[in-house]
Chain A
Amino acid sequence: MFRELNSNAAPPAGLRIVCALAIVGLTLALIAAVVVSGPAAPGLQAAVAAALPHSGVENPVTAVLLNFRSYDTLLEIAVLFVVAVATLPLRRAVAPQRTEAVAVEPVLAALVKLLVPLVVLTGGYLLWVGAYAPGGAFQAGALLAGAGVLLSLAGGFSLAALPARPLLVVGLVVFTAVAAAVGAITGAFLQYPVAAAGVLILVIEAAATVSIAATLLLLYGNLAEPVPSGPLAGTKEPAS
């Protein structure tokens, strides 16, 4: 399962042919279904365009994500949180000690010094501009996580030094708190008051950006800086 492929590890030719034929048949059937079914039912663009003035933002995708279907986004932040919690035991609690001298290339270090502030700036811009043009929390969070990966690759800092837990939780907490608070005002969970919708969406997005970036960075850190094998962090190690 973990070995590089070699010729004798591949399944027998007969099985491969049967699989290939079955998949080709399935693909052709799906294509036929798409071709025969013709134009799909009218989409929701008219409904979105009609409700856009009440959403607090001007970008229809952001309006759908954080206002019309904000339940989806809330649960997606929850999914990210659950994934982060699931991999938290695999996290290295202290920075690995670099026993062998790591050669940090001067060109890479200089480039990172120049690039990372720019990437962080672009992330902030994307977060803000999401209300008016393509951009938003997901893009900004992914960009920030990319900056963190770059920084850790250049040997700038260890991802284990990141205060992960508060950063992971802030998105879900702020989103849920805002959802409940507006629910108390307007009577429906996640139903923003029209006048304050723009500000609330920006607050939620800012918190979500931090959590998305932290989650992605944590997931990368678990893979790049593994815990030593043996008992996981948090389990009691027998005194030896």
Chain B
Amino acid sequence: MTQDLFYSICGIALFGIGLYGLLIPPHILQKILAVNVMGTGVFMVLIATAQSRAPAIDPVPHAMVLTGIVVAVAGTALALSLVCRIYALSDDTEQDAGR
């Protein structure tokens, strides 16, 4: 098994784990974690593909992943801000009903 194939499979497995984590845990913070894990899996597949023509490494997927990491952290921060704001505005009865 070549290195890039191994890491591609790891990335796909990471995506699967993230998808399960997105669907099953009821807590919203853990769902946000799960989306990040899924993203990491996608990045891993891209980087492994870029590496598959070693020793010449394709820089285009690297640039895409770099962009992706920054956008992912911005999206995560936006989601967390919205969650905290909604939580601050909700009261106890609402959050029990909405669970």
Contact = CB atoms under 8 A, between A and B. Distances in A.
Query: A contacts B directly in the complex (CB < 8 Å)?
Result: yes
Contact of B16 (A3, A23, A220): A23
A27 B15 contact: yes
B13 to A, nearest CB: 6
A56 B13 CA distance: 39
Contact of B77 (A83, A136, A138, A142): A83
A73 B67 contact: yes
B73 A216 contact: yes
Given A24-B16, A76-B70, A2 B27 contact: yes
Interface string B1-41: 00001001100110110011001111110100000000000
B52 A40 contact: yes
Contact of B58 (A5, A44, A86): A44
Given A43-B58, A48-B59, A19 B78 contact: no
Contact of A10 (B24, B60, B73): B24
B63 A69 contact: yes
B57 A45 contact: yes
Interface stretch (A28-36, A111-119, A120-128): A28-36
B84 A223 contact: yes
Interface stretch (A59-67, A149-157, A184-192): A59-67
A85 to B, nearest CB: 11
Contacts, number: 145
Interface string A45-82: 11011000000000011011100010011001001100
Contacts of A104: none
A19 B60 contact: no
Nearest to B67: A76
Nearest to A212: B70
Given A69-B63, A90-B85, A223-B81, A10 B53 contact: no
Interface of A: 1-5, 9-11, 16, 19-20, 23-24, 26-27, 30-31, 34-35, 39-40, 42-46, 48-49, 60-61, 63-65, 69, 72-73, 76, 79-80, 83, 86-87, 90, 136, 138, 142, 212, 215-216, 219-220, 222-223, 226, 229
Nearest 9 Cβ contacts at the A-B interface? A43-B58, A219-B77, A27-B16, A60-B59, A64-B63, A83-B74, A229-B88, A45-B58, A30-B12
Interface of B: 5, 8-9, 12-13, 15-16, 19-20, 23-28, 30, 45, 49-50, 52-53, 56-64, 66-67, 69-71, 73-75, 77-78, 80-81, 83-85, 87-90, 95, 98-99
